[in-house]
Structure 1
Amino acid sequence: MEQLLQQWGIEAIASVGDELTYDPQWHQLMSGTVQPGELVRVRYVGYRQGDKLLYRAKVSPVN
């Protein structure tokens, strides 16, 4: 499946468990509140095709 996604130019925004800075353009906050630039943890993978967002990564605050 990963090879097929690569052929279509689709890539994951981040992997589950990754900690990164919150960007509301690419991430959907599942609970709590955070400001852009604050640290969040990826709960569900998001996908993009080049600069086009297909599905936001679902994230939650890092406590």
Structure 2
Amino acid sequence: MHLMRRKLRTKHGRERYRLRQISIEPVFCFIKEQLGLRQFLLRGIDKVCSLWRFTCAVLTC
């Protein structure tokens, strides 16, 4: 948390964060709203990672 605050204090950090909001956040919104993936219903980090990778692979095709 402290590291992120330090980054956002710099002009470069604010610019990069602004670009993230434009490029990355709409994708997360689509995954949550359209695909209904607000939480994982699997147990275990391996299964969750597999589902996340599959979701990302489907979106990039």
Question: What's the TM-score once normalised by structure 1's chain length?
Answer: 0.24
Which is greater in Rg? 2
**Greater share of helix residues, 1 or 2?**
2
**Greater share of strand residues, 1 or 2?**
1
Which is bigger in relative contact order (C-alpha 8 A, separation at least 6)? 1
